[in-house]
Homo-oligomer: A and B are copies of this chain.
Amino acid sequence: MSKLKTKDPHIRELAALVSGPYSILYEREDLLAYDCDGFTIHKHLPKAVVFPNTTEEVAAIVRYCARHRLPFLARGAGTGLSGGAIPVNGEVIISLVKMKRLLEVDLENRRAVVEPGYINLKLTNSISDKGYYYAPDPSSQSCCTIGGNVAENAGGAHCLKYGVTTNHILGLEIVLPNGDIIEIGAGGIPDAPGYDLLGLFTGSEGTLGIVTKITVRILKNPEAKQTVLAYFDKVEAGSQAVSDIISAGIVPAALEMMDKTAIEGVESAAFPVGHPLDIEALLLIEVDGISAGIEEQIDHILTVCQRHHVREVKVAQDEGERARWWANRKTGFGAMGAISADYLVQDGVIPRSKLPEVLTCINQISKESGLRIANIFHAGDGNLHPLILFDARIPGQAEKALEVGSACLKVCADVGGSITGEHGVGIEKMNEMRYIFSEEEISAQTDIREVFNPDRLLNDGKLFPSPGRCVEVKLAKQAEKV
């Protein structure tokens, strides 16, 4: 490794635990790239960033940190949206980007084994010629890692039919905060005996251990796929169409909605496809499965749309058109940059039947706050993503955006929903946990954290509100944003 320009003994010791070049970053200008993740409102510098190559190196780093009581956390691609990888305690960041191998593909038993830094979309790309794919498809799938997906229990547009990450994880190798290495999930067989630690670790947001190997389920490519785009003058009509499609017993692979502001955004950004700008709602609906029956499902969907006075509805004519529609949708969050200086994405879940009522409330919150809100979301499973548009250069707007986001989540919680569907709690929604959990219910969870992470050195100050005191929320200095 290259010569270190520091005398800090921890940096030197940590560097020595990792083989090869580029083992550690520790200078301020390097660390700046690691001061936040996809949740950009909070920024904190890590002590250092280490780049292990193997499970054993991860375990050695963890043991070193534990022995010297250095706080630490794991990081994948840093695309998380709730701040789970932000070093709020000046952590040593254990970056898993070098552990990015595809270790095994077992088509016969429909599973693959990857390292945590392996990019989500690469898995599908590497098995698609054999007719297989990996289902969870967060919008960031071209750059996010499967390790990060496990930490956040990531979702995606196609989770309506196929389930979120936890439904596709068959086994995990984990380095516990004391440096022990365990394997859970009985070698890739689901429904392992004993407690469901696989479910417990998936979505634990990096607070219980560091995942170093992942066995995932892979699926056979559907024989056929059809995609429908429908434009509605009224948002209520679009919501009702969603409800009627599901009630008909059709389970679309994806059922996405965008509202007027969201459409303005995506049409102003990198992948415009010519959506009309004066409609209130757009539905993007995909069905897949064996060829026989797909046409009948599409006919049924078209009939439902007509019944709800759709302005225009069309079926993708080829894979190119389908891909353009999806690129337009999947870059929707980033597209907000075209119509707003900053945006904050929220992630609430509601019972599907409450959709019109909740959209009205969010609209009302937007009017009262003076901040525009765009809605891009997984309508089929009631997973909303209000995008709160603001300008961090205007004093007070970032704070107001956070308040508006919290108010939107309160609306979701009040109708019997939840405060996150797929983005996690992180540092962003710790306080909102109280909207849905009692003190006893939070204790039951923090008691479990005590089992694995008793010294709270691993990714502390996340996920749970600290009992008895207001959680400190520090906004990034305006100066850093501009």
Contacts and interface: CB of A to CB of B under 8 A. Distances in A.
Interface string A223-267: 100000000000000000001000101100000000000000000
Chain A, interface size category, equals 35 or more
Interface in A291-319: 291-297
Nearest to A164: B191
A19 to B, nearest CB: 25
A464 interface: yes
A463 B193 CA distance: 8
Given A109-B351, A182-B438, A448-B448, A193 B419 contact: yes
Given A182-B438, A195-B203, A187 B249 contact: no
A149 to B, nearest CB: 13
Contacts of A437: 194
A153 B352 CA distance: 27
A53 interface: no
A11 interface: no
Copies in the complex: 2
A349 interface: yes
A475 interface: no
Interface in A190-228: 191-200, 202-204, 208, 220-223
A420 interface: yes
Interface string A347-380: 0011111000000000000000000000000000
B166 A109 contact: no
A8 interface: no
Interface stretch (A39-47, A398-406, A421-429): A421-429
A180 to B, nearest CB: 5
B353 A109 contact: yes
A191 B155 contact: yes
* Residue from A293, A297, A424, A433 having most chain B Cβ neighbours under 10 A: A293
28 contacts: A108-B247, A153-B196, A164-B191, A166-B196, A182-B438, A182-B444, A183-B438, A184-B441, A186-B349, A186-B418, A186-B436, A189-B418, A192-B436, A194-B425, A194-B442, A195-B204, A195-B449, A197-B445, A199-B200, A291-B296, A292-B292, A292-B296, A293-B293, A447-B452, A448-B448, A448-B451, A450-B451, A451-B451
- List the 8 closest A-B pairs by CB distance, nearest first: A293-B293, A199-B199, A292-B293, A292-B296, A109-B351, A220-B249, A186-B418, A196-B199
